[in-house]
A and B are shown apart, each in its own frame.
Chain A
Amino acid sequence: MTAYLDHAATTPMLPAALAAMTEQLAVVGNASSLHRTGRAARRVIEESRERIAKAVGARPSEIVFTSGGTESDNLALKGTYRARRETDPGRARLVVGATEHHAVLDSVEYLVRHEGAHVTWVEPTSDGLVEPAAVRAAIERDPGTVALVSVMWANNEVGVIQDVAGVAAVAHEHGIPIHTDAVQAVGHVPVDFAVSGADLMTITGHKLGGPIGVGALVARRDAKLLPLTHGGGQERQLRSGTLDTPAIAGFAVAVEQSVAMMPAEATRVAGLRDDLITRAQAIEPDIRVGGRWVPCDTTQRLPGNAHLIVPGCDGDSLLYLLDAAGIACSTGSACQAGVPRPSHVLLAMGVPESDARGALRLTLGHTSTSEDVEAFLAALPAAIDRARRARVATAS
């Protein structure tokens, strides 16, 4: 038996989403075809678009289907940067949170390296919060040069929820569009695109019970951006390519259901999270929580995110030992060729590098139970003990 505590990596599909997707897999139809079969596919797509739009507070025409979060982030960053520079070459600066996902960070780095972009990283507080005031300071250094602001809705490592509306208000004071990566947020905390004021928002299927390989960029009708892919002109000319009807059907059901279940589910999952954190700290008082955590709260931190920093341990040792004990979790940070690197999120928050290497991300979701938490807590003491010995053994 595996206790699956890695829902932020990907979460099991909701049965209704699976059913909707498999139903469509058996049906032929290209939504761009003009005949009856094509029209049937088109209808599934458009109904899915409407369901998703309604669930996230957007208009159907604002939903641009993509292959997932990474593509949506790339489209938002590169597409906006290129469109803005085309009309005003002086707007080459990107104001971006330092704790963003690599899909944003690396898109920015690409634009800096290859297309003359400049970047101002907005450093977070030690709690992981990228404050609107800090964004303001970054913009007001030279407002006329900013092409785009990008600040994520909820962090994938430490689960901190940002004040997107506050950031959007600051950006809009200067007429600057804002993108937010809401991949971890939708279906877990309330997300309303219109109310947030964001111009662009990334969402994806597989973090909320939908299939892997489908997502969307929610883009205001007046958002100026150029496409990355060219071809059939689907999705407002922004994302050419035959639409994946089965995946989109499953995606829509998952968004709708996860958003509907959220109020009750957030409370339930946050209860498990708080239990996990407090009891882990009871086992090992040195354990600290990465990012702001307030027990019972579901508005400042993702309900399912427990991020533990275990001093004296390497996260990859803990991960192996827990894996061997049937616990699936993550160190939270991206790896390079399988080699874990200290998390840029924790380093930006001012966590010392040796502590950052001891990070463990446990993320709960719709299939999580108290048994999963018990299994983790049962395996934790021995894992910490051995991981500490391994750190000592390799330090010499």
Chain B
Amino acid sequence: MRVVAAMSGGVDSAVAAARMLDAGHEVVGVHLALSQSAATLRESARGCCTIEDAGDARRVADRLGIPFYVWDMAERFKRDVVDDFVAEYAAGRTPNPCLRCNEKIKFAALLDKAVALGFDAVATGHYAQIVRTPDGRRELHRALDPAKDQSYVLGVLDAEQLARAFFPLGDTCKPQVREEAADRGFYVARKPDSHDICFIADGDTRGWLERALEVRPGEIVDTDGAVVGEHRGAFAYTVGQRRGLRLSRPAPDGEPRYVVEVRTAANQVVVGTAELLGIDAITGDHARWCGQAPEGVVRVGAQVRAHGEEVPAQAWADGDRVQVRLAGRIRGVAPGQSVVLYDGTRVVGSATIASARLDRSRDAAEPMSST
């Protein structure tokens, strides 16, 4: 096959490209220029898409003897990922831009361009596995290495996107990938892992948001509506957050207070006790299925953050929405996060969390029918 290897300049995508080549594919390396200022030098170990990263990717491509190009997707990335990220925070939600990037950029803009240019597929250095079923379908599964598993951020891919995706590292543990990179003579073998959000180079999301959004201070209130402090812009608060509240009045019961709700329309941040954070029911919208949407109620494992625990649950498709009933309570679920549903190691699908609540009726009546 003719394959575009998306090469970030990091060790994972380098080894992924090498493995595609070893497997006999015709491979072309492509580095995506996503930053609005592509010519900047790296300011910390965390940034990406800098001149140095493009250069690192080019060095690997040169060693592999494959063609290498930089594709400028900065405009699309800004529109579909960065602007969306800002808009989500402005609306009081907590988005995960990596899922968005995979859905809209790597497996849409990049893949579409590659297909138009005559390629069959895109390979990346994500840690996840694609399993072919006997009837020829492709399923997305967790990576072998649980510490590196990235199936969560790929949960947005549909069957069509999966059919044209390769994740050559899914069956390997990270230390082996680094070793393999060193054996192959890649200069990036010891390059630090990227963390956090690639377009926020210093890792200071709040500071970045304060520059991107108008800061409107407002009230912090308790669940009875009493003002207990002042906030510096509601967008900077996330459900479940405890640190940085600086409440002016200590809670009468002496218990710590957490953000339990962000009301952007009223510009209010609501705080309450830990107990109020517990939820067991999630409504998600923007449902994405890695194959067919499930029929009826299915037993799944639900995961609500990139490296979070998987919780047993029941879920059912509801048009573009997904309803999830968790077997137990979990804390700190913020609207805007993604819930990814698993069946064993298989990714069933995902949705963006619209609301999460404690379903108090459940003790009284079993709301779910089972198939």
Contact = CB atoms under 8 A, between A and B. Distances in A.
Given A320-B69, A394-B76, A337 B113 contact: no
Contacts of A392: 116
Contacts of B116: 386, 389-390, 392-394
Nearest to B109: A394
A316 B31 CA distance: 13
A26 interface: no
B252 to A, nearest CB: 56
A316 B118 CA distance: 15
A320 B67 contact: yes
Interface residues of A, number: 20
Interface string B66-102: 0101111110100000000000000000000000000
Contacts of B50: 337
Given A316-B69, A393-B112, A336 B38 contact: yes
B39 interface: yes
A338 B39 CA distance: 9
A387 B116 CA distance: 7
Contacts of B71: 316
Interface string A334-355: 0111111000000000000000
Nearest to B31: A338
B67 A323 contact: yes
Contacts of A316: 69, 71-72
A357 to B, nearest CB: 10
A171 to B, nearest CB: 34
B38 A337 contact: yes
A74 to B, nearest CB: 20
A336 B113 contact: no
Interface in A362-396: 386-387, 389-390, 392-394, 396
A337 B118 contact: no
A338 B117 contact: no
A118 B79 CA distance: 36
Contacts of A389: 116-117
B117 A337 contact: no
Contacts of B76: 394
Nearest to A388: B116
Interface in A119-171: none
Interface residues of B, number: 24
B35 to A, nearest CB: 9
A337 B67 contact: no
Contact of A387 (B39, B51, B117): B117
B234 interface: no
A333 interface: no
A393 B51 CA distance: 26
B33 interface: yes
A394 B73 CA distance: 9
The listed residue with most B CB atoms (<10 A of its CB), out of A336, A337, A392, A394, is: A337
Nearest to A391: B116
A396 B69 CA distance: 21
A321 B114 CA distance: 11
A338 B115 CA distance: 21
Contacts of B31: 338
B33 A337 contact: yes
B181 interface: no
Contact of B33 (A321, A339, A386, A387): A339
Contact of B117 (A336, A340, A386, A396): A386
A393 B122 CA distance: 15
Interface in A322-339: 323-324, 335-339
Interface in A42-93: none
Nearest to B2: A324
A308 B115 CA distance: 25
Contact of A337 (B39, B69, B115): B39
Interface in B30-84: 31, 33, 38-39, 50-51, 54, 58, 67, 69-74, 76
A337 B112 contact: no
A160 to B, nearest CB: 27
B169 to A, nearest CB: 25
Interface string B288-330: 0000000000000000000000000000000000000000000
A317 interface: yes
Nearest to A392: B116
A50 B51 CA distance: 43
A320 B112 contact: no
Contacts of A393: 109, 112-113, 115-116
A338 B54 contact: yes
Contacts of A339: 33, 38, 70, 72, 74
A317 B67 contact: no
A320 B117 contact: yes
A393 B112 CA distance: 6
User: What are the 5 tightest A-B residue pairs by CB atom distance, in nearest-first order?
Assistant: A338-B70, A393-B112, A389-B116, A390-B116, A393-B116
22 contacts: A316-B69, A316-B72, A320-B28, A320-B67, A321-B118, A324-B67, A337-B54, A338-B33, A338-B69, A339-B70, A386-B116, A386-B117, A389-B116, A390-B113, A393-B109, A393-B112, A393-B113, A393-B116, A394-B73, A394-B112, A394-B113, A394-B116
Interface of A: 316-317, 320-321, 323-324, 335-340, 386-387, 389-390, 392-394, 396
